Amino acid sequence: MTVEACNKQKLMDDMDDDDGPLVFKRSSSSSSKQSQSNSGTKRSIPHKHDQQLGRPASNALPQNGQNNSVQRSKMVPASKRPSDRSPLLSPKLSNSFTKDSAVKSTMVDSRPSTSMRGELTSDKRQIKGDNSLRESTRGLKEESEDSEDDKPLSARLHVGQSKINSGNADKGANASNFSQTSKIPKSEDSDDEMPLSSKFRVKAAAGGSTNRSSTSGEKKPLVAEWGQNGSESTDRKSSTVLKKRTVDSIKPTDASSLKRPKLSETSTLHKNKESSNKAEMKEEDDEDHVPISQRIKKTAVAEKKSALIKKLTTPTTPVTKKFNKKPNKIIKNSKYSESSRVPPSSGEGQKWTTLVHSGVIFPPPYKPHGVKMLYKGKPVGLTPEQEEVATMFAVMLETEYMDKPKFKENFMDDWRKILGKNHIIQSLEHCDFTPIYDWHQSEKEKKKQMTTEEKKAQKEEKLKQEEKYMWAVVDGVKEKVGNFRVEPPGLFRGRGEHPKMGKLKKRIRPSDITINIGKDAPIPECPIPGQSWKEIRHDNTVTWLAFWNDPINPKEFKYVFLAASSTLKGQSDKEKYEKARLLKDYIQGIRTAYTKDFTSKDPTKKQIAVATYLIDKLALRAGNEKDDDEADTVGCCTLKVENVEPVPPNILKFDFLGKDSIRYQNEVEVEVAVFRAIQEFRNRKKGGDDIFDKLDTSKLNAHLKELMPGLTAKVFRTYNASITLDGMLSRETKGGEVAEKVVVYQHANKEVAIICNHQRTVSKSHSAQMTRLNEKIDELKGVLEELRIDLARVKKGKPPLMSSDGKSKRSLNPNSLEKKISQTTAKIEKMERDKDTKEDLKTVALGTSKINYLDPRITVAWCKRHEVPIEKIFNKSLLAKFAWAMDVDPGFRF
DNA sequence: AGTAGGACTTGTCAGGATTCCC
DNA sequence: GGGAATCCTGACAAGTCCTACT
């Protein structure tokens, strides 16, 4: 533990120094999704002529070089229209500024300067901006929404949040702890545990952290209804009945079970769950005034930490399985004897003891179609091998890749190798792939036209062929395999401006594949006669079942792993969240330490401090070094001078391409010390030079590990995401319908997605869908108006109005009319909610954070507390993936 | 200490499956 | 019943981070 004790006065001084406001601005530029040079340019609709490639009519494509996707987000009706919601709940509404406004909002750190969290947290921020502007724009809902859509995700949240905290100021409660050590358990609602980016909303409602005790949900824990592990799962379909191991059973030493031994009990005593939960809740109620982290007995905390530390440094001791809740599959008279099983991760990095599987399945060999493409207008015959590659290109005619010279160049280079030097085809310019494209389209159409029976038969046939590859037996437990299909050959579709896009991804053969399997297991038969596997290994320290070298980048690998629902994956998932939870106990000290180092004389220390601050505050990725043959993207450690522009007095403007070439744009007001440090790091450097020249991810992570065992840069992302969800759910869930609670969840989920910059392309049909919705709403409003008139007339004894087609309507009694009116009103409200939600989420991808960053136990516990069926939040595959989290205590807090 | 290799997680999208609505 | 909307899943690209080697 190298976090040094912090001198309180020194901190205060630092704080005074940096006492300026934190500003989060929206940038005025358009969509933050990607930023390729040609981004946003709608492609014209050529047909055969424009590039001689025979490209048919095409649609405009999204900016990151990928096709638009259909609307994917799950629409959950909002409980209220955004305009009716508290502005505190709606970033969008609270920031109704016009598109062109350069600085949309400003947050001020209004915290008393005596706050210990001081310059780090900036937790009490206020809108500095012009009230009248705010007022005047409040009415411009539609415009503001539109303008919001043009904002980078990263900026949206900050802006949105800015209004949320107008100066509540109960910081500093933990000040006395602050200087002691970096790992002081503290109040769960302490701002120190909140992501810096979302702190300012802390304590928006009184007793925010304690509302878990106030819901009726506790009376009837849903877990009982869901079943023990919540995963009904595909597993049941399996022909062989095997035993399902649970994560808890594997990891009896798990931190959380140490922390709350009761949980395990609860899960075992299934029938008594209700009462036991009640009892637990009562206990929690009694302790409501005590922060959760302090409720845990100190020894338990110590144990938890030491357990984790141990896990992180030494292999876990094998422990006999303690519980075996609701085994999904049990092999009758199995050869997989239970006694022989050892929990994964036991022994020296051992992940399994026995492993049986059937290897991988290969795509079918290429079937030539014989359709001739044109070269200089004349049909050209191609060998099947040449035709196969031509077809790969032809089917991509309608994609944005056709606008990328690099793609075409790489394709042509590789195709030429197959065509041979003296082939008639010498230049892509003169190629017309339309005949092949058309053939492909007609094949697609034929497939579409197949009858349901034919489709079903085909599906069954496929399933029959694949069934045996779909499963592995790990330590006697049947588990789903993730990606058992070998990738078919194709053209590499690198994202962004990947230098290798368009290159031929050659066909993978058995001789390319290394199989990993248990020593005593039968070696999978090679599915292609006459060929054999490259190598057979029996390495039980890894979880992969097979791998081959990436044909595009031969020094990299493609692995076959178990599916996300497998115990092995679940276990590592749980460990990930436990590590992030542990960070909660250290975060205060870590922030103290890096704040101190903002002004360090040691340049490396100083860079580490500033980088850690950015990772903590903005949830940036670590930023590993990249080769020249990869897309030019950056993360924190690889930020270039040109990616961060300091704007005095203390604003940093970020603009860079991150993972998947997704653009990150954000303007953030930072500590003055950080601002100065960044200015200094940029001094005497060119635009393309690294800001953090003394730093790389290994140095940064090595440093982080000194602060907390197992801490790496990415843990901050998990931590920030999960603590944000936990906090928001806790603060913002009020009573009401399930649908309203689901909206609260969506809202929290959305904020996390914004923090993590999880974007998606707007669906092609979005605007059409919105138009249709508006039309329907208008229509219903017309109906409503008519009903009201009829009611008034009927009450006066007059007949109802004529219907729109001029016929007279049946006279209804007032009661029926009133009923109709309320039904129609409800329908309109629902549609308005749907519309708002749809608009709200058109550029935000909620799924990624749900799958990767949000501790599922937060969600499960919240569902239990508020009687929200978990199926409203998790789909079938998430339920399977998070089976390990399903029996969490309703009182669980991250 | 630096680097490459290796193993695993995170991320977006396409397209199939399912549901909704007329 | 059929088409559109929506949901879900798999594919596979692109990250992170650990470890072993030099």
Verify if strand C has an atom below 7 Å from the CB of A576: no
H or E element that contains A480? strand A477-480
pLDDT exceeds cutoff 70 at A543? yes
Query: What pLDDT sits at residue A628?
Result: 86
**Alpha helices, DSSP H, located in A841-873:** 847-852, 856-866
> Per the domain annotation, does A117 fall within a domain?
yes
The 10 Å Cβ neighbour count of residue A1 is 12
pLDDT tens digit string along A283-330? Answer: 333 332 222 222 222 323 333 344 343 343 333 322 222 222 222 322
Distance A488 CA to C7 C1' (A): 26
Q: Which residues of A768-788 are buried (b: 16+ CB within 10 A; e: fewer)?
A: ebeeebeeebeebeebbebbe
pLDDT exceeds cutoff 50 at A387? yes
pLDDT exceeds cutoff 80 at A59? no
Give mean pLDDT, residues A398-427. Answer: 94
Extract the tokens encoding A435: 């005949």
> Per the domain annotation, does A581 fall within a domain?
yes
pLDDT band at residue A806 using 50, 70 and 90 as cut-offs: low
pLDDT band at residue A458 using 50, 70 and 90 as cut-offs: confident
Question: Which bases in strand C are touched by protein, i.e. have an atom under 7 Å from a CB?
Answer: 5-19
Distance A311 CA to C18 C1' (A): 15
Query: CA A477 → CA A235, A242, A349, A447, A536, distances in Å?
Result: 11, 6, 19, 38, 22
Query: What pLDDT sits at residue A805?
Result: 59
pLDDT band at residue A77 using 50, 70 and 90 as cut-offs: very low
Residues 640-659/A with CB within 7 Å of nucleic chain C are 658-659
Give mean pLDDT, residues A858-868. Answer: 93
Question: Which bases in strand B are touched by protein, i.e. have an atom under 7 Å from a CB?
Answer: 2-17, 22
List Cβ neighbours of A133 (8 Å cut-off, separation of 6 or more): A97
The residue annotated as part of the active site, out of A577, A613, A664, A853, is A853
**A366 tagged catalytic:** no
Query: What pLDDT sits at residue A303?
Result: 36
Verify if strand B has an atom below 7 Å from the CB of A853: yes
Query: What pLDDT sits at residue A60?
Result: 33
pLDDT exceeds cutoff 80 at A674? yes
Distance A312 CA to C19 C1' (A): 14
Residues 828-847/A with CB within 7 Å of nucleic chain B are 845, 847
* Top-confidence residue, A432 or A740: A432
Closest amino acid to nucleotide B10 (CA–C1'): A852
Pairwise CA distance, residues A177 & A798, whole Å = 76
Give mean pLDDT, residues A483-495. Answer: 92
Closest amino acid to nucleotide C18 (CA–C1'): A698
Pairwise CA distance, residues A758 & A319, whole Å = 40
10 Å CB burial of residue A638 (0-12, 13-18, 19+) is: buried
Verify if strand C has an atom below 7 Å from the CB of A75: yes
Verify if strand C has an atom below 7 Å from the CB of A569: no
Distance A840 CA to C1 C1' (A): 34
Q: Does residue A280 contact residue A889 with C-beta atoms inside 8 Å?
A: yes
Query: In the predicted model, what is the mean pLDDT of chain A?
Result: 67
The 10 Å Cβ neighbour count of residue A482 is 19
Verify if strand B has an atom below 7 Å from the CB of A637: no
CA angle A698, A699, A702 (to 5 degrees): 80
> Per the domain annotation, does A334 fall within a domain?
no
Distance A875 CA to B17 C1' (A): 14
Residues 476-495/A with CB within 7 Å of nucleic chain C are 483, 485, 487-488, 490, 492-495
Verify if strand B has an atom below 7 Å from the CB of A36: no
Q: Of all nucleotides in the shown strands, which has a C1' nearest the CA of A698?
A: C17
Query: What pLDDT sits at residue A761?
Result: 80
> Per the domain annotation, does A493 fall within a domain?
no
Verify if strand B has an atom below 7 Å from the CB of A403: no
pLDDT band at residue A736 using 50, 70 and 90 as cut-offs: confident
> Per the domain annotation, does A439 fall within a domain?
no
Verify if strand B has an atom below 7 Å from the CB of A43: no
Query: What pLDDT sits at residue A803?
Result: 66
Number of domains forming the structure of chain A: 1
Give mean pLDDT, residues A170-188. Answer: 31
> Per the domain annotation, does A379 fall within a domain?
no
> Per the domain annotation, does A276 fall within a domain?
yes
Worst-scoring range by mean pLDDT, A367-376, A425-434, A702-711, A828-837? A828-837
Closest amino acid to nucleotide B13 (CA–C1'): A69
Distance A549 CA to C16 C1' (A): 19
Residue A672: strand, helix, or coil: helix
pLDDT exceeds cutoff 70 at A534? yes
Give mean pLDDT, residues A776-804. Answer: 79
Extract the tokens encoding A575: 């460990």
Distance A554 CA to C22 C1' (A): 22
Q: What percent of chain A has pLDDT over 90?
A: 40
Residue A893 lies in domain: 1-26+84-233+258-321+564-763+869-894
Distance A618 CA to B17 C1' (A): 38
Extract the tokens encoding A377: 């207008």
pLDDT exceeds cutoff 70 at A687? yes
* Top-confidence residue, A58 or A148: A148
Pairwise CA distance, residues A92 & A95, whole Å = 5
Verify if strand C has an atom below 7 Å from the CB of A842: no
* Top-confidence residue, A68 or A558: A558
Distance A786 CA to C2 C1' (A): 32
10 Å CB burial of residue A370 (0-12, 13-18, 19+) is: exposed
Give mean pLDDT, residues A581-602. Answer: 94
Verify if strand C has an atom below 7 Å from the CB of A345: no
Distance A324 CA to B8 C1' (A): 27
> Per the domain annotation, does A781 fall within a domain?
no
Verify if strand B has an atom below 7 Å from the CB of A776: yes
* Top-confidence residue, A292 or A891: A891
Q: Of all nucleotides in the shown strands, which has a C1' nearest the CA of A715?
A: C16
Residues 665-704/A with CB within 7 Å of nucleic chain C are 697-698, 701
Residues 540-559/A with CB within 7 Å of nucleic chain C are 550, 552
Distance A496 CA to B20 C1' (A): 36
| CATH number of the domain that residue A115 is part of | 3.90.15.10
Extract the tokens encoding A530: 């006459």
Verify if strand C has an atom below 7 Å from the CB of A621: yes
Verify if strand B has an atom below 7 Å from the CB of A662: yes
